[in-house]
Structure 1
Amino acid sequence: MNVVPPTPPVHPAGNIGASGLFERFQRFRPPTFTSIDRPKEAEYWLDRISKILKPLRCTEVEQVEPVYSISNPYKTPTKSLRAPSPRFAHPSISLSLSLSLSLSLMASLLLFLTLSLLSLPSLSSPSPSKTHLSFPLFSIPLSPSPLIASLSSNTPKTQIPRNPSPISKIPQNPSPNSKIPTISRFKYTMALVLSLPIGTPPQSQPMVLDTGSQLSWIQCKPKRLPKTPSFDPSLSSTFSLLPCNTPLCKPRIPDFSIPTSCDSNRLCHYSYFYADGTLAEGNLVKEKISLTNYQSTPPIILGCSRDASSAEGILGMNLGRLSFTSQAKIQKFSYCVPSRRNLTQRSPPVGSFLIGDNPYSGGFKYVDLMRFGAGTDNLPYLDKLAYTVGMEGIRIAGRRLNISRAVFRPDSGGAGQTMIDSGTEFTFLVEEAYNKVKQEVVRLVGPTRLKSGYAYAGALDVCVDGNVAVIERLVGEMVLEMERGVEIVVGKEQMWVPVGGGVTCLSVGSSQMLGVESNIIGNFHQQNLWVEFDVLNRKVGFGKADCSKVV
């Protein structure tokens, strides 16, 4: 949003020098560009600048010196303008005054600027030489929020949302006999994190890529902790808060997927508890996200979290209407999860996150997303916004386990769906499937090798001491069989995860221990694998890759 400056006073005639002119000029808070795809904004900018300059009585010598340059991520010839002063800084176009400004040059500058802007690609139409946008994707440990130490023990906590998103699914209309899951003691330690430039001018914010959740939210800078690297709303000209009377905040039909309320300031407030105990609460806002130096989304609805238990925000990518996928009208995206085998290296492993067509998709194999009709709206355990696929079975060490395919599909209450979730670390199976997997692993390893009565964080309960290489050889790989012959092959190295103290655990857990009623394929079992979400055609593709080499 452009700031309209007040009508400037006329200063007395006389030469006050370039520095004096510049100081006076800056006092009137000249407007900046908030977008670069609209020539109308250029006209507005020039109109406002001319109104500021007129009473300042700039001479013909004090003129504009536009510098002709470009910052183009596609490395194709494009035109833009840049000038010295940082006041008009923009990610791709900077227009400013060296306060050598000439009113007689304004008309030609307008024509030049308009032609330059029109030569830029549309926000919705990337360059034909490259039909996707690429972002580095890091597999890194989650950071504790700097807020945690400042949160008092009596901080009010709102109730768990009935349709939470990323990790758990709590029934909306539980029957008298249904079991309400509780928040697990389990805490995820690793996540897929990318940085997105948010606001105007952009501020880079780390966000967890989460295909299992809807609302995207960022850490906003609290006044009591001014040195945190969080997003500072006061520095963005496109930031706006949603008031209580926003339909989203007071919907006619309660939307349990976005639990909202009005706070004491009459602003729209949200609260999220995730199944692993992560808390995020704050205000709903509107803000732009930059996709390239010259491409940005329109203002989209985000959470601006003041109190959260992790330093990273969330990029919600599920099928919900308020997900980043839906609001940015993304028809296809994909990611490649780097191997965590070399976490001891100084720099974290780097994969890739793509928006648009994947250049490697020729070798992908696709499975259709399951469709749910209107009759499934009230199923208490079903998450209709998740990327739900039809799983057929599981093989371990080449042996197919005796598990009915019905176990991997929603039952009459919605429990049992199988979802692809980048925001969950490990794979969790409903009780019937998990028990079969556990029995087979114990048979291959031998019960004497297991740590009796041990469960890592209450969720991974098949653990061993000592040399894991022997265990890896005994168990071998696991294959998750999908419809249409699609398979996710989990290598023997990815079957086990070190949890500290010389203990290694099976990287498959029980959904019941986590407190959910779904089968969830987590990112640990998506390493060195392209996973493509074709939202338009409702299918998910998989392809093997060395994810550290595809950026």
Structure 2
Amino acid sequence: MNMPTSPHVLLLVPPLTIIILIMFLQIQTTTSSLSSPKQKPFILPLKIQTLPHGAVSLPTPSSHKISFHHNVTLTVSLTLGSPPQNVTMVLDTGSELSWLHCKKLPNLTSIFNPLLSKTYTPIPCTSPVCMTRTRDFPVPVSCDPKKLCHATISYADASYIEGNLATETFFADGSAQPGTIFGCMDSGFSSNTNEDSKTTGLMGMNRGSLSFVTQMGLPKFSYCISGKDSTGVLLFGEANFNWLGPLKYTPLVKMTTPLPYFDRVAYTVQLEGIRVGNKLLQLPKSILAPDHTGAGQTMVDSGTQFTFLLGPVYTALREEFLSQTKGLLTLLNDTNFVFQGAMDLCYRVSGSGSNSGRVGLPPLPAVTLMFEGAEMSVSGERLLYRVVDDVATRKWNNDLVYCFTFGNSDLLGIEAYVIGHYHQMNVWMEFDLVNSRVGFADTRCELASQRLGI
């Protein structure tokens, strides 16, 4: 999912779900040997890509969300076409339709060229895929002058990208998936020029019928996000590793009735409570569940960097964390500084004597997110994020600035709880589509990558 942030930087792309407004269609997709139960799982490296400061913004899966700027993405590399072309795609569990840049634009260096592929097939506007009207496309698909299916994807920051829907053969781990539907985008306006220049496109991974994992017909996928300088892993298929340990599972929440603020193809789980240290926050159960409009769902999103909570819950967490860290950390005390537009609990930490800018933080109380049947504990360095901002550093006499890695959804106009990838770091995340559940287990992702040969 991608969401809005302030000019102060960083959300894992598609941040709070980059609002990619996409089609929700019931389509019979082609299955290949990849969906065979005898097919071995296959693995791709998952990389954290850091972009220039204040670089990008992307979409999110609902029109009521706002845009944001970020400079971190999770990317995977694979090939498609005949002969195969290499592409790099942003991994986004909050988006559905995958798309690629198919025309060289200013500042764009990474593209897919459909003219060089024998298996590229544009979808005609008479196709059921093109003729179906859905609420997720703000601008309905239409016919271009060549009678091909033309689609426009709008972003929350008023940027957009457009092109033709098409099918192509995607390759992963030596296996082919022909007839995969994607967007071959050749024009548009984007403020994400730095990101666009380094990635070819976006891999939509939610539960919608057009998502990459749905079209591949796979029962589950997993990923493990390493630290900034390490390679993680994206695994399609079963993950039976004796070194991984048991996963804790929480069921996916399903909503059969269409509601204006509920994304029915997101990976939605039920948040039941939050602990700070050993203290349980006193929160009414009703505020943690979707209301009659669908607002208040909890989404697991690789396209958002940090975690965002609805206003009253964020305020309760903020006050309790402040109380338990009093005397351990020095508050920034600058009401004009709000990191990424939604994170207003920041601290000054002395960086003297450290040429690398790395300092030792005091022991901090863990924040535990409690779900139905499982818990996720956020501790240590994942609780605070260092703001890399030269202006801020000069303003506070070269002290380092760290911000609490939970933000206020209300400040972003987001009617949801969103669990971003920063809090999924060094956690094996499994998305089980057959059993409708999400599983996770603490691990060291760089070691997992090494064990899997990456």
TM range (shorter): 0.7 to 0.9
User: How many Å apart are 1:225 and its aligned residue?
Assistant: 5.8
User: How many Å apart are 1:442 and its aligned residue?
Assistant: 2.6
Residues of 2 paired with 1:458 and 1:319: CA distance? 29
Which residue of the partner structure matches residue 231 of structure 1? 112
Q: 1:319 aligns with which of 193, 198, 207?
A: 207
Q: Give the 4+ runs in structure 1 shifted more than 6 A.
A: 468-471
- Aligned partner letter, 2:436: R
Distance 1:470 1:353, change over 3 A: closer
User: How many Å apart are 1:429 and its aligned residue?
Assistant: 0.7
- Aligned partner letter, 1:205: V
User: How many Å apart are 1:492 and its aligned residue?
Assistant: 2.1
Q: Deviations over 1:107-162 (max 9, x none)?
A: xxxxxxxxxxxxxx94444767xx31011001122479x9x9xxxxxxxxxxxxxx
User: How many Å apart are 1:276 and its aligned residue?
Assistant: 6.2
- Aligned partner letter, 1:213: S
For the 8 Å contact 1:472–1:495, the answer to whether it is kept is no
Which residue of the partner structure matches residue 357 of structure 1? 238
Distance 1:288 1:452, change over 3 A: same
Q: Deviations over 1:241-267 (max 9, x none)?
A: 22322322232x534257543264243
Residues of 1 paired with 2:245 and 2:366: CA distance? 26
Distance 1:416 1:299, change over 3 A: same
Which residue of the partner structure matches residue 190 of structure 1? 72
TM-score (norm 2): 0.78
Q: 1:132 aligns with which of 36, 41, 64?
A: 41
- Aligned partner letter, 1:371: K
Does 2:35 correspond to 1:141? no
Q: 1:481 aligns with which of 370, 376, 381?
A: 370
Residues of 1 paired with 2:222 and 2:365: CA distance? 28
For the 8 Å contact 1:393–1:401, the answer to whether it is kept is yes
The higher-RCO structure (CA 8 Å, 6+ apart) is 2
User: How many Å apart are 1:445 and its aligned residue?
Assistant: 3.9
Does 2:270 correspond to 1:390? yes
Residues of 2 paired with 1:449 and 1:368: CA distance? 38
Does 2:338 correspond to 1:455? yes
Aligned to 2:163, the other structure's residue is in SS state strand
Residues of 2 paired with 1:207 and 1:292: CA distance? 16
Q: Deviations over 1:300-331 (max 9, x none)?
A: 11111223533221111111011111111111
Which residue of the partner structure matches residue 98 of structure 2? 216
Which residue of the partner structure matches residue 527 of structure 1? 425
Residues of 2 paired with 1:475 and 1:167: CA distance? 32
Give runs of aligned pairs for residues 74-93 of structure 1, distance below 5 A.
Answer: none
Residues of 2 paired with 1:461 and 1:279: CA distance? 30
User: How many Å apart are 1:489 and its aligned residue?
Assistant: 1.1
**Structure with greater proportional strand content:** 2
Residues of 2 paired with 1:315 and 1:200: CA distance? 20
Residues of 2 paired with 1:350 and 1:543: CA distance? 18
For the 8 Å contact 2:150–2:162, the answer to whether it is kept is yes
Residues of 2 paired with 1:213 and 1:422: CA distance? 10
Q: 1:409 aligns with which of 289, 301, 325?
A: 289
- Aligned partner letter, 2:226: P
Q: Deviations over 1:197-247 (max 9, x none)?
A: 12111111111111111011112133x669823111111111122232232
Aligned to 2:273, the other structure's residue is in SS state strand
Q: Deviations over 1:413-434 (max 9, x none)?
A: 1000001111111101111211
Which residue of the partner structure matches residue 419 of structure 1? 299
Distance 1:136 1:196, change over 3 A: same
> How many residues of Structure 1 are paired with residues of Structure 2 in the alignment?
387
Distance 1:212 1:352, change over 3 A: same
For the 8 Å contact 1:332–1:534, the answer to whether it is kept is yes
For the 8 Å contact 2:384–2:403, the answer to whether it is kept is yes
- Aligned partner letter, 1:136: P
User: How many Å apart are 1:283 and its aligned residue?
Assistant: 2.1
Distance 1:226 1:516, change over 3 A: closer
Which residue of the partner structure matches residue 371 of structure 1? 254
Q: 1:543 aligns with which of 410, 419, 441?
A: 441
Distance 1:547 1:296, change over 3 A: same
For the 8 Å contact 2:102–2:114, the answer to whether it is kept is yes
Distance 1:278 1:509, change over 3 A: farther
Q: Deviations over 1:442-464 (max 9, x none)?
A: 32344962332110231222112
User: How many Å apart are 1:505 and its aligned residue?
Assistant: 1.0
- Aligned partner letter, 1:424: T
Give runs of aligned pairs for residues 241-260 of structure 1, distance below 5 A.
Answer: 241-251=122-132, 253-256=133-136, 259-260=139-140
Distance 1:235 1:433, change over 3 A: same
Aligned to 2:77, the other structure's residue is in SS state strand
Residues of 2 paired with 1:298 and 1:438: CA distance? 49
Does 2:401 correspond to 1:503? yes
Structure 2, unpaired ranges of 5+? 1-31, 352-357, 394-399, 450-454
Q: Deviations over 1:489-516 (max 9, x none)?
A: 1112101111223321111111122221
Residues of 1 paired with 2:107 and 2:62: CA distance? 36
Distance 1:132 1:516, change over 3 A: same
Residues of 2 paired with 1:261 and 1:527: CA distance? 37
For the 8 Å contact 1:472–1:496, the answer to whether it is kept is no
Residues of 2 paired with 1:490 and 1:276: CA distance? 30
**Structure with greater proportional helix content:** 1
For the 8 Å contact 2:321–2:365, the answer to whether it is kept is no
Distance 1:521 1:227, change over 3 A: closer
For the 8 Å contact 1:260–1:268, the answer to whether it is kept is no
Distance 1:471 1:549, change over 3 A: closer
Root mean square deviation, CA, Å? 2.9
Structure 1, unpaired ranges of 5+? 1-120, 149-164, 172-180, 341-347
Which residue of the partner structure matches residue 518 of structure 1? 416
- Aligned partner letter, 2:63: I
TM-score (norm 1): 0.65
User: How many Å apart are 1:545 and its aligned residue?
Assistant: 1.1
For the 8 Å contact 2:43–2:173, the answer to whether it is kept is no
Residues of 2 paired with 1:273 and 1:137: CA distance? 27
